[in-house]
Amino acid sequence: MTPAPKNKPRKKVSSEPRVLHGSGASPGIVVGRVLVLQRKTRRSGWYNLPAKELDAEVARFRNATARAETELVALRSRFAEDLSDALSIIDSHILMIRDRMIVDRTVDLIKARKINAEWALAESLGTVKKKFEKIADPYIRSRYADVKHVADRIFGILAGQEGDPLADIADKVVVIARDFSPEDTMRLPSDRILGFVTEAGGDTSHTAIVARSMGIPAVIGIREITRLCSTGDEIILDGFNGRVFLDPTQDQKKQYREYKRQHQVFSDDIAFYIQLSPETIDGHRVRLMANIETAGELDAVMKYGAEGVGLFRSEFDYFQRNVRPDENMLFTSYRHMLATLDPLPVTIRTLDVGGDKFVDQLRSGSLRLDLERNPALGLRSIRYTLHEQVLFIMQLRAMLRASVHGRLRILFPMISSQGEFARVMEIFNRVKDDLAGEGVDFDNGVEVGIMVEVPSAVIMADVLAGGVDFFSIGTNDMIQYSLAIDRGNEYVAHMYEPLHPAVLRMIKQTVDAGHARGIEVGLCGEMAGDVIAVPVLLGLGLDDLSMRPSALPFVKRLLRHSNSRQLNDLGGRVLQCSDGPEVRSFLDSYLPRTYPEEFGPHHE
């Protein structure tokens, strides 16, 4: 591998999302610059050989395998036995180098077909690959990656590759590569590597296991990442949630540095808080749930002790792959989530696209959302699905079919009027009738909720509450629409104030309207995981908060250090403030007094 030149032509991400989703292979948050490593084409030409050169070719191949083994043994000896996971992976690779399927078969091929070692090795690898592809168990099937890593090592030696580009890394960087073998990962100079991101790999890959045991934050499985960024670019790597932010904004960097700080402060406590119940000192329970965007995050949901998924942003299922999912693909994915978390609830939000999300991918026929002049106020979210009803119906059918496998809650985004919601329910009920007519099983009592994120929905919350089982407040949009701040516009980002009393009053009004009708009111915007805002939100009477999974332990800790009377007083107090800075300056003195462990002078 070699560092890619800084001026390499590249495909830049042209529009949202600037956040890419992979698997959180190893936890940790990094804000830093990247070094993109490009793998050299190692496989030199494939050619036939005269009979008299065959013995020498076999010897060249055997020398390469012997050297590969020596290198692995040397690497193994550099690590202490306590890295047992990583060491046993190296052991398995050493055994693979001696494996008949690879070595003997390659030697046979060199002799029988009179071909060079690279060609023969590639053929053997192809045969092994076919055998693995037939294996039903996905975990064992994915082990082909290890065979490939071993073969790549031999290819590299055959090509005369010398030196170790990883050893030359001078600055502290996030390394980006198409693939890393477990051994590459072990050779990373840990004092200079902040983390790594790869295109290949899944949660169960050995590279992920080694990264975790070495404590290197990593995200793997992000297609095209080596083309989407260049050496020197800044990124945020979120190994907890498997996300990478390209060219992050100042606000995102600030926010993630704060997340990182919180993790460092509380990491020792995490395991402890995960098992405790989410309640105040005086026993008031608040449900703490997780926001996820891919089924790959289910592990994190369980690991951080969420009481279910409060928001599954289903749109990522549609656009993170090359193939647009059909009803069965969606059904399989929803069933998997519901069954995995059963009996905990999984709240699946219907497609919420347009505005700033996936506009490029939504062009069809004369529909050009990329040309909308005011996309946040345009054909986005529920308006889009009401316009593209085939998509909407397909998704509702998949959800309802999956509903018998766990506890499903369906969430409709961006509802702005009762009439609009009535149209949604008309379609929903028609889908139910169709399924019943087809004899398909589904849960007829599945809970239905709406996102309250448009000011008109807040004002009409008492009316809307009559037709739903729950409200989920989307503050990311509620702030944008109530304060008239485009949530993606850097020029006005400093005015985007979650603690603006107007926002707090809207939250309170929604909570009161919901409670008056006896329904639960939750909140799933970013604010729910912001430790400064959390006591305020609790004080406003929310029944549940849904956030990125890794924020859950900290929020639970705050909740457990609160008492309801104090929270109510706080809620009442902030509603009297006249603007955002006043709320913040009040909290500056209130939080350290009330939560000395979290906000006191020594909390860092």
Q: Which residues are catalytic?
A: 206, 524
Choosing from 524, 531, 567, 570, the residue that interacts with ligand PEP (CB under 6 A) is: 524
349-378 residues near ligand PEP, rule: CB under 6 A: 352
Cβ-contact 533, 476 below 8 angstroms: no
- What's the closest the beta carbon of residue 361 comes to ligand PEP, in angstroms? 16
Verify binding: residue 559, ligand PEP, rule CB under 6 A.
no
In terms of DSSP H, where are the helices of 250-388?
Answer: 250-266, 270-274, 298-303, 315-319, 327-341, 382-387
Residue 148's closest CA among 132, 125, 164, 130? 125
Query: How many Cβ atoms from other residues are within 10 Å of residue 74's Cβ?
Result: 9
Per CB under 6 A, the segment of 117-125, 156-164, 365-373, 472-480 that binds ligand PEP is: 472-480
Q: Which does 313 bind (CB under 5 to 8 A by kind): ligand PEP, Mg ion, none?
A: ligand PEP
Burial classification of residue 291, based on how many CB atoms lie within 10 Å of its CB (0-12 exposed, 13-18 middle, 19 or more buried): buried
Choosing from 179, 453, 544, 598, the residue that interacts with ligand PEP (CB under 6 A) is: 453
- What's the closest the beta carbon of residue 510 comes to Mg ion, in angstroms? 14
Kind and range of the H or E run holding 76: helix 54-77
Contacts with 489 (C-beta within 8 Å, 6 or more apart), sequence order: none
Cβ-contact 101, 130 below 8 angstroms: no
Residue nearest to ligand PEP (CB): 474
Cβ-contact 494, 455 below 8 angstroms: no
Which phi and psi angles does 199 have, rounded to 5°? -80, -40
- What's the closest the beta carbon of residue 453 comes to ligand PEP, in angstroms? 5
The residue among 156 and 474 lying less far from ligand PEP, judged by its C-beta, is: 474
Verify binding: residue 317, ligand PEP, rule CB under 6 A.
no
- What's the closest the beta carbon of residue 338 comes to Mg ion, in angstroms? 23
Verify binding: residue 525, ligand PEP, rule CB under 6 A.
yes
Query: How many Cβ atoms from other residues are within 10 Å of residue 2's Cβ?
Result: 12
Choosing from 26, 231, 385, 475, the residue that interacts with ligand PEP (CB under 6 A) is: 475
Query: How many Cβ atoms from other residues are within 10 Å of residue 55's Cβ?
Result: 11
The residue among 307 and 453 lying less far from ligand PEP, judged by its C-beta, is: 453
The residue among 153 and 409 lying less far from Mg ion, judged by its C-beta, is: 409
SS3 236: strand
State the residues that interact with Mg ion by CB under 5 A: 453, 474, 477
- Site size toward ligand PEP (CB under 6 A) is 10
The residue among 311 and 552 lying less far from ligand PEP, judged by its C-beta, is: 311
570-589: b (≥16 Cβ within 10 Å) or e: bbeebbebeebeebeebbee
Verify binding: residue 68, ligand PEP, rule CB under 6 A.
no
- What's the closest the beta carbon of residue 528 comes to ligand PEP, in angstroms? 9
Verify binding: residue 477, ligand PEP, rule CB under 6 A.
yes
Binding site residues, ligand PEP, CB under 6 A: 311, 313, 352, 453, 474-477, 524-525
